[in-house]
A and B are shown apart, each in its own frame.
Chain A
C-alpha cells in the first residue's frame, strides 16, 4: 500500500498574545491509500488543529508533512491553495455551500480554481457525475435552502470529489444531522471508500467512528490510541434495522 499521508513529529504552537498554546505536541502518523480513518478526541484535544494541518490550511510549527510524497512544509500560501484544490477534498460540519447558488454551481466551484482551465461543458459533466455518485443528480438545479441537511451534505461531498482528490477530509460531517441522516451520509462515505477513496474524518461520536476502518484518539496534542475497528457498522444494515423499527412502531401503534 502507498502512503498518502506521512506526519513526522508534528508540533503546532499558537501564540495567543502572552500565552503559548501547544496544541499538537509531536504526532507521527501514516495513512495509506484506501484507508477510512476517524480522528476522535474531546474539544481542546488538538484534533481540529491536526485536521487543519492535514488539510494544508495551517502549517506545522515543527515537523514534516508529506502529502502524496510531496513535502508541504515549505510551500507558500498559493502553492498550498493549489495542493488543496488538486489533492484534497473538504467536507465541513456546517456544509458550507454558497447560498443562493444551485447545487450544480456549488459542485463546479473547485474546478473554477483548477490551475488547468476546464471547458464549461466538461465542468458541467463532471459536476453532474459527482452529484450522481452521491445520488442527487436530479436535484442539480436546487438551491441549498431547498435541500434537507443530509442532501446539502451530500452536495458538499460531491463538491469535495469533483477534482478527484487523493484524500477526502471531513470535519464532523454528521455534527449537524439527525441520527438517521447521519447513517445515510456515513453510507455515502462507505460507498466512496469501497471505490478506493481515502477518507479521514474528525468526529466525537463513537457510534459514527465505528463506520470507519481505523480509529485514532487524540488527547492533549498527542496520539494516544490507534486501532482498527473490530465490530464495524455498515450503513446498509443499520438503515435496514431503522426501517424495521419504524415499521414495527407503526404496526404497534395501528394495532
Chain B
C-alpha cells in the first residue's frame, strides 16, 4: 500500500482547489452542525424534564379524587370530596411494599410573620412527605406523628417563603400566623426550584394534615394521597392493590378516585422530548445526506475534469487501487474536515441558543463522535462511485481526453 504517498497527493489536490473544497465541505459542515445543535438542545430539554420529574419524588403513586355523580349531574375530575385521611391510613396499614404515605390537603392562604405578609400555598402533609418527595430540610426538623395526632400548630416552610418573610432573621423557632393562628416554624426546606408544570415548589408552607384540615382549610377531605413504593418494580402491583382497597372501602359506590403512577407521567414527558429530538435529529441527518450527495457531485465533476491527470498517473505506473484510494481519501478528507468544523459550529450554535433563550443544552460525546463518524462514512459511501469511475479509466482514452 502506498497510503501515505496517496494521502499526500489527495491533500495537494484539495489544496489546489481551495474554494471548491471549502464549498463542498460546507454541505457537511452545515449538516453536522445542525445535528449537533439540535441533538444538544433536545438532550438538554430531555435532561431538564427528567430532573424535574425526579424532583417529584422516587417511585410515587398518587391517588386523586375522581368525579362525582349526584343524581345524574356529573362533576368534573377532582370534584369528588370523598378521599379521607382514613383511606390514607388504610393504604399505609394494608398495602405491602409501601414505604411512606402522605395525606395531602392544599389550600391558599395569606400568612403573616415578622411584620410582613405573603400569599402562599399551605399544604397539609403527613410526616412521610419528605421521604415521598425526596426532599431534605436545610435546617430544623420535620413534624412528627405525635404532632399529627395532636393537630399541632407547627410548620416547615419553603425557601421562597423563608426569604420573603424572614429576609434577615433565622426562621426556625419563629411564629407565623395562618388564619390568625400562630404556627411555630420547625424547619426550612432545601430549595427545589420550579416544577415540571412551572410553579415555584419552594413557595410553600407545610403543616400536619390534621392541622390543615381542622385549622386551615377547614374541610374533611383530602386533595390527594401520595404513596411511595419500595422499588419501581412494585409500582404497578401497588397501584392495583390501592385501587382494589379503596374500591372495597367504598362498597358498591361508583369509583370516585383515580390512581396515577409517576412512571406514566415520566414516560409521557420524556417521550415528548425524545420525539422532538428524533424529529429534529433526523431532519438534520437528511441534510447530512444532502451534503454527501454534494460531495459525490463535486467528486464526479472532479474526476471528469481531471481525466487527463488520471491518465498520466495510470500511464506512469499507478495501479487502479492507487487512483481509487486517492479519490476516496479526497472525499473522506472533505467530509471529515466538514465533520470537525461542523461539530465546532454546532457546539457554538447550541451555546448561542442557550445563552439567548435560556434553554439548557447538553453536548454529549456520543453525538459528537457519532456525527464525525457518520460524516466520514458519508465520505466513503458517496466518494466510492466517483473513485471507482476514476480507477476504471483506460489510460489511452484518458490521455486523449480533451
Contact = CB atoms under 8 A, between A and B. Distances in A.
Interface of A: 52, 55, 57-58, 77-78, 81-82, 84-86, 90, 92, 96, 98-101, 105, 109-110, 112-114, 117, 159, 163
Interface string B1-16: 0100110110010001
B106 to A, nearest CB: 78
A186 to B, nearest CB: 22
B315 interface: yes
B320 A98 contact: no
Contacts of A84: 315-317
B318 A81 contact: yes
A100 B318 CA distance: 20
Contacts of B16: 99-101
Given A96-B399, A113-B322, A159 B317 contact: no
Nearest to B321: A78
Nearest to B309: A98
Contact of B395 (A57, A78, A86, A100): A57
Contacts of A52: 396
A57 B316 contact: no
Contact of A77 (B312, B316, B320, B399): B320
Interface string B48-80: 000000000000000000000000000000000
Given A98-B309, A100-B16, A112-B5, A81 B396 contact: no
Nearest to A78: B319
7 contacts: A52-B396, A81-B314, A85-B317, A110-B316, A113-B2, A113-B317, A114-B317
A101 B12 contact: yes
Interface residues of B, number: 24
A23 B320 CA distance: 27
A96 B319 contact: no
Contacts, number: 59
B9 A58 contact: no
B313 interface: yes
A76 to B, nearest CB: 10
B308 interface: yes
Nearest to B6: A112
Nearest to A112: B5
Contacts of A105: 12
B358 to A, nearest CB: 50
Nearest to B317: A85
A113 B308 contact: no
A81 B12 contact: no
Among B311, B321, B396: residue with most chain A CB under 10 A: B396
A109 B313 contact: yes
A213 to B, nearest CB: 26
Contacts of B309: 98-99
Interface string B301-343: 0000000110111111111111000000000000000000000
A101 B2 CA distance: 20
A90 B316 contact: yes
Given A96-B308, A112-B2, A113-B322, A159 B316 contact: yes
Contact of B399 (A92, A114, A117, A163): A92
Contacts of A82: 317, 319
Nearest to B395: A57
A112 B317 CA distance: 9
A58 B316 contact: no
A100 B2 CA distance: 23
A112 B315 CA distance: 13
Contact of A110 (B6, B311, B317, B321): B317
A127 to B, nearest CB: 13
B319 A81 contact: yes
A105 B314 CA distance: 17
A86 B317 CA distance: 8
Nearest to A156: B312
Contacts of A96: 308, 311-312, 399
A98 B312 contact: yes
Nearest to B8: A112
B389 to A, nearest CB: 16
Nearest to B315: A90
Contacts of B9: 112
B125 to A, nearest CB: 78
B316 A85 contact: yes
Interface in B88-124: none
Among B12, B311, B318: residue with most chain A CB under 10 A: B318
B142 to A, nearest CB: 77
B317 A57 contact: no
Contacts of A81: 314, 317-319
Contacts of B317: 81-82, 84-86, 110, 113-114, 163
A116 to B, nearest CB: 10
A141 B187 CA distance: 83
Contact of B316 (A100, A101, A113, A117): A113
A55 B312 CA distance: 13
Interface string B280-320: 00000000000000000000000000001101111111111
Contacts of A100: 16
